[in-house]
Amino acid sequence: MSKGVLLFCFDTLETKYHKILERCVSLVKKNLGVPVTVVTDHKTYKKMAPMGFVNYKLIEPERGNKFLGKDWHNCDRHMAYELSPYETTMVLDIDYFCYTDDLAQYFDTKYDFLVSDKAYDLSNGKILDFGKYSIVTMVWATVLVFRKTAKAKRIFDTVKYVKSYYPYFLDLYRINSRNFRNDYAFGIALQQINGFIGYEKLPLALPTLPRHCEIQQINDSGLVWKHNDRVGSVAGQDVHVLNKELANV
């Protein structure tokens, strides 16, 4: 059975996401040991350094989404099912750094689709909760695992439907944020398709460094971050880095 990692990467005027991608691919190859497919556009592709064997899918990303006033090309993840060449696929945010092989075990899942609904702040150990005012549990589309099955396809088709009528679903589920987020779109789709009775999840809370943590150093073994007068480090630990300035480190 084929298995691999699918990554989406599109540079914006403000952020060189391809620099983050290059670190992510290196760590996936080193610690997960599976093939990698990168979904990108032609302009971003031309800027990428050689990364060894990587499969590329070139598309034109959907534009118009913004976060904190900056372009945010994150609207194409619903296409992962048809873009993936693998029978079992792990979709990762490119700013999720695999410093361990912890995620490798989920390639052998018997479930059609898995996602985590929990993340915790590595800087203080507290659970992150951005969906507490909504009647839907926000999932973290940072890490998705799916198999090429009929049920998984229904989930992605439902995400597409939710995306098409996103303002309606935001009002229906009492979500205050107007910006498109995969975390909400997948959460809503999973609740809809599973009949409001729950669904299988990745049994882990994603280790996360929030935006206020400035990345000081980074390499293939770990990273050093700073917030106010406090300095911390990550080593032997996966980490999702939300501060996109890490592209310049």
Which pLDDT belongs to residue 177? 80
Q: How far is CA 101 from CA 67, 165, 213, 222, in A?
A: 31, 38, 24, 14
- DSSP label of 138: P
**64 vs 187, which has greater pLDDT?**
187
- DSSP label of 211: T
List the CATH code of the domain at 3-206.
3.90.550.10
Which pLDDT belongs to residue 71? 72
Weakest mean pLDDT among 5-9, 19-23, 32-36, 187-191:
187-191
Q: Report the half-sphere exposure of 23 (CA within 13 A, side-chain side).
A: 26
3-state secondary structure of 212: coil
The sign of the CA dihedral 118, 226, 220, 51 is positive
What tokens appear for 124 in the block? 């203080």
68 pLDDT band, cuts 50/70/90, is low
Res. 129: pLDDT tops 80: no
3-state secondary structure of 82: helix
Instruction: Report yes or no: 11 and 43 within 8 Å, Cβ to Cβ.
Output: yes
Give 189's contacts (C-beta < 8 A, 6+ positions apart).
155, 158, 159, 161, 162
**Domain locations in the chain as residue ranges:** 3-206
Q: Which amino acid is at 1?
A: M
**132 vs 226, which has greater pLDDT?**
226
First to last CA, the chain: 38
Across the range 109-117, mean pLDDT stands at: 96
